[in-house]
Amino acid sequence: DLVSGVATDVAKYENPEVEILRTAWFIGDGAIYEDAFYVILNKRLTVDDTPEDAQARLGKVDMQTGAVELLGEVIPLNVIALEIDACGQIFTAGFTLSNQIGELFGDTNLYRVDRESGSLSLIGDTGLERIMDLSFDPEGTLWGTTGNVLYTLDMETGAPTEMAKITGTEDDLEIMGIAFTSEGELYGTTPYADAFYRIDPATGVATEVGRHGLEFMHGGDIPMEIQGADCEAVTAESAAAMSSDTAATTGAGFYTSHEGHEHLGMIDLASGSGSDIGKYENPDINILRTEWPLGNGAIYDGAIYGIVNKRLPADATRDEAEAWVTRTDIESGAVELLGGPINLSLLAVEVDACGTMFAAGFDFENEFGVMFGDSNLYQVDRETGALTVVGDTGIEQLMDLAFDPEGTLWATVGNVLYTLDPATGASTEVVAITGVDEEIEIMGLGFTDDGTLYATSPESELFYTIDLATGDTTVVGEHGLFFPHGGDIPMVPQNVSCEAGG
């Protein structure tokens, strides 16, 4: 009760599919929309689990009974703080935690959540670890709290602005639940005491309203009308953001193979932080670094096209080479085999704005096995895998290909940037890459619409930009992924005529 601070228990959360307990599937936060309480359920993991084991579910709670309906598919990330705007858009933030109860694996990003499918759409990095709760004020500004600090979050980028430090709570306990009323009053709770507070957003000073008597409160919401919301415009923007290729929205991130060619990951362009999307899975082949590695990919029409190569033993011969064209689901890592078998090993791939796929031969031998390729550039039929020779690049072991916004095809190997003629395969050395350690070789490239070149190396957790004129690298941040290789950024080359260009 907002006047007295006195609380009543509504009901226990109940769902027939999952056990909702603090130590199993728990609900840490919720937000009200159309007389229902939307929540995120997170699965507690063991100390032996890894980030790819993370699971969360979107749920809708009956506010009279506590019955929980699960919505959509499993979310491969732990998220806690949740809020819904006046138009029904759900927002949430990644959350990472390790304690005696279990493990949670998230990040510091702000996301939109589709209320039907549960799919996430990245907004941007907040730079804040463990945001505890989110709340809209009556003007539609999104607030968040962590560490007894109030922030506002930019709805376009996720960027935070510190507003006030919260003071005046009992024993300086941390506020982990916040909610505004329609009049702009902000209320808050802490799990560690049964005090109910009103907080001045301008100063952060907390004033006790009363004692609620509940144990370990977390998160919360108050039914409230946001003023001046244009839901028609918001719905149109949301539909665009949450379309089938949401994850591949232009400039959303750098998509790459990692974990030794076994997982799909994404690196945030603003912060350089990385996240695992999922393990590559296919029912016909075992996508492992030692068997069928998927080392590179290129985005087209909301999916990632790539090549899987069969690792061969040291005594194998060239006529045993085998590769397949693949199409990977950008949201899950599920892999579909398309064209093949191709009697050649290929690694670097790229797809132009018209859907033409290019790949370069790759000849290689190490402790994991043998690959038999060449130095040619090929056009690859995405459906059949049929190869058409473009021409000899004269370069062995090209590591990655990338189109810039003008439609020029770039390549790298040995920390040198080249351009390739898509009609003949002829290579032109442009610049040597500098500013990385001697033992580090850039093996992943991707351009944005504005012509910025981003890059990765399997030997480093650093995410770079590269100056095309000088080759100088600049560190964006640390992605934390293991052995990233290849990569692509959703981007549309300019001035491309697909009728003329095929």
Do residues 311 and 373 share a domain? yes
User: Average of pLDDT values for 202-207?
Assistant: 97
- Same structural domain, 276 and 162: no
Which amino acid is it at 49? D
Say yes or no to pLDDT of 196 above 80. yes
For residues 269 and 289, membership in a common domain is answered with yes
pLDDT at 274 over 70: yes
- Of residues 5 and 230, more confidence is placed in 5
Residue 476 forms part of a structural domain: yes
Residue 225 has a pLDDT of: 72
Question: Residue 205 falls within a domain, yes or no?
Answer: yes
Alpha carbon separation from 128 to 180, 271, 386 (Å, rounded) = 21, 12, 48
Residues 265 and 199 in one domain: no
Model pLDDT, residue 270: 84
Q: Which of 216, 241, 266 finishes a domain?
A: 241
Residues forming a β-bridge with 359: 349, 378
* Claim to verify: residue 359 and residue 458 sit in the same structural domain: yes
Give me the residue label for tokens 């500098």: 434
Average pLDDT estimate for 450-474: 95
- The predicted structure's pLDDT at residue 248: 37
**In the predicted structure, residue 243 carries a pLDDT above the cut 60:** no
pLDDT for position 245: 35
The verdict on residue 4 lying in a domain is no
Domain-ending residue, one of 223, 241, 259: 241
Q: Are 394 and 331 in contact (CB under 8 A)?
A: no
Q: Decide if 326 is inside a domain.
A: yes
**Burial of 17 per CB tally in 10 Å (0-12, 13-18, 19+):** exposed
Looking at residue 214, its pLDDT comes to: 94
Buried b or exposed e, range 388-409, using 16+ CB within 10 angstroms? eebbebebebbbbbbbbbeeeb
What local confidence, expressed as pLDDT, does residue 14 receive? 94
- Distance of CA 222 to CAs 89, 138, 217, 354, Å? 16, 11, 14, 49
Residues 326 and 203 in one domain: no
Assigned domain for 152 exists: yes
Q: Same structural domain for residues 378 and 428?
A: yes
pLDDT reading at 276 higher than 80 = yes
Q: pLDDT tens digit string along 86-110? A: 889 999 999 998 888 889 999 999 9
- Count structural domains, the chain: 2
Reported confidence tier of residue 492, pLDDT bands at 50, 70, 90: low
300 falls within a domain:
yes
Kindly give the pairing relationship between strand 400-403 and strand 254-258.
unpaired
Could you tell me if residue 466 is inside a domain? yes
Predicted confidence (pLDDT) at residue 393 exceeds the cutoff of 60:
yes
CA distance 235 to 216: 36
Average pLDDT in the 456-481 region? 95
244 band by pLDDT with thresholds 50, 70 and 90:
very low
- Its domain, for residue 377, covers 246-493
Q: What is the pTM of this model?
A: 0.55
pLDDT at 62 over 50: yes
Residue 15 in any domain: the answer is no
Q: Are 223 and 320 part of one and the same domain?
A: no
pLDDT reading at 121 higher than 90: no
Please report, for the domain that includes residue 93, its CATH number: 2.120.10.30
Same domain for 174 and 50, yes or no, is yes
Residues 352-374, mean pLDDT to the nearest whole number:
89
In the predicted structure, residue 499 carries a pLDDT above the cut 60: no
Q: Indicate if 77 and 195 belong to the same structural domain.
A: yes
Give the DSSP H or E segment for 239.
Answer: helix 231-241
Residue 419 is predicted with a pLDDT of 98
pLDDT at 115 > cutoff 70: yes
Q: How far apart are CA 464 and CA 167, in angstroms?
A: 40
Q: How far apart are CA 330 and CA 256, in angstroms?
A: 10
Confidence at 118, pLDDT banded by 50, 70, 90: confident
Distance CA 294, CA 302 (A): 18
Per-residue pLDDT at 42: 94
The predicted-structure confidence for 22-43, as pLDDT tens digits, reads as follows: 889 999 899 999 889 999 999 9
Does the structure show a pLDDT above 50 at 247? no
CB 484 within 8 A of CB 263: no
Q: Could you tell me if 425 and 304 lie in one domain?
A: yes
Residues 43 and 188 in one domain: yes
Of 218, 241, 264, the domain-final residue: 241
CATH of the domain at 403: 2.115.10.10
